[in-house]
């Protein structure tokens, strides 16, 4: 999963796109179905991979926390204007498609695989910081996609949590970004980061032994949480 995270980081930063302007409206039909009969976490993971196999990245919007993707895409920008206007403008199609095309490219044969070859397994569900999470694994055919895929329950709807799943290589760049964006934007961006504090904390817990640039990801996450005023992480002193 560490290699995959690096691929996604390179893809997002290489795209040099902001999270705004050309967001794709969510499908009313899909939203209606989800509202009437919410998908469980296993079904969400399965459907997400099936849509990626079909190359239909627009269909991923209802299965993923795109506000988190907007953050991961925004750190290449010199300011946080696009991120702060995400609620009104949405995630750019280019940023979304670039992220998922990089994901698909990381697994040769994924696009050609049969939809019924996808097997998603939820290994555990739990609540922490008042948030319900599920952690699962995915296989397509005989190949397993390494690493934990994390989902979060948001308003009775399960969605993939990009921070807890892919966030390792993004922690240090986000900390640096907070030091370079205009000072007046630091507080509102920190507010957005604090909103996802449970996801960051879970990322640190899951990546205790992972190292980026010689620094443990958990240590980077702990420092980020303190810098944004999210308090001392669980287990800290």
Q: Which of 86, 50, 82 lies closest to 66, judged by CA?
A: 86
pLDDT at 63: 96
Q: Which residue has the higher pLDDT, 171 or 111?
A: 171
CA 49 to CA 83: how far, in whole Å?
A: 26
Query: pLDDT band at residue 211, thresholds of 50, 70 and 90?
Result: low
Segment 216-224 mean pLDDT: 91
pLDDT at 3: 52
- Integer CA distances (angstroms), 32 to 26, 38, 40, 141, 154, in order: 11, 10, 16, 31, 16
pLDDT tens digits, residue range 101-159? 888 887 776 667 777 788 889 999 999 999 999 999 988 777 777 678 999 999 999 99
- Tell me the backbone φ, ψ of residue 17, rounded to 5 degrees: -120, 150
pTM summary value:
0.81
Round the average pLDDT of the chain to a whole number and report it. 81
pLDDT tens digits, residue range 26-82? 444 445 444 457 899 999 999 998 888 888 899 999 999 999 999 988 888 999 998
Q: Which residue has the higher pLDDT, 162 or 117?
A: 162
Share of the chain above pLDDT 70, in %: 76
- Return the domain boundaries, the chain: 2-227
Segment 84-93 mean pLDDT: 87
């Amino acid at each position: 999963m560490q290699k995959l995270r690096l691929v996604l980081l390179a893809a997002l930063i290489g795209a040099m796109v902001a999270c705004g302007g050309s967001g794709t409206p969510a499908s009313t039909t899909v939203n209606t179905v989800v509202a009437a009969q919410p998908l469980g976490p296993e079904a969400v993971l399965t459907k997400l991979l099936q849509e990626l196999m079909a190359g239909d990245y627009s269909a991923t919007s209802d299965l993923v926390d795109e506000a988190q993707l907007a953050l991961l895409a925004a750190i290449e920008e010199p300011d946080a204007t696009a991120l702060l206007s995400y609620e009104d403008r949405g995630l750019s199609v280019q940023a979304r498609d670039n992220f998922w095309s990089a994901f698909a490219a990381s697994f040769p044969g994924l696009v050609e695989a049969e939809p019924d070859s996808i097997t998603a397994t939820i290994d555990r569900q739990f609540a922490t910081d008042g948030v319900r999470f599920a952690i699962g694994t995915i296989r397509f055919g005989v190949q397993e996609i390494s690493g934990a895929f994390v989902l979060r329950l948001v308003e009775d709807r399960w969605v993939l949590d990009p921070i807890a799943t892919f966030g390792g290589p993004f922690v240090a760049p986000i900390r640096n970004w907070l030091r370079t964006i205009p000072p007046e934007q630091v507080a509102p961006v920190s507010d957005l980061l604090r909103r996802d504090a449970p996801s960051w904390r879970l990322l640190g817990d899951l990546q205790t032994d992972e190292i980026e640039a010689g620094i443990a990801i958990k240590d980077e996450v702990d420092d980020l949480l303190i810098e944004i005023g999210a308090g001392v992480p669980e287990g800290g002193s």
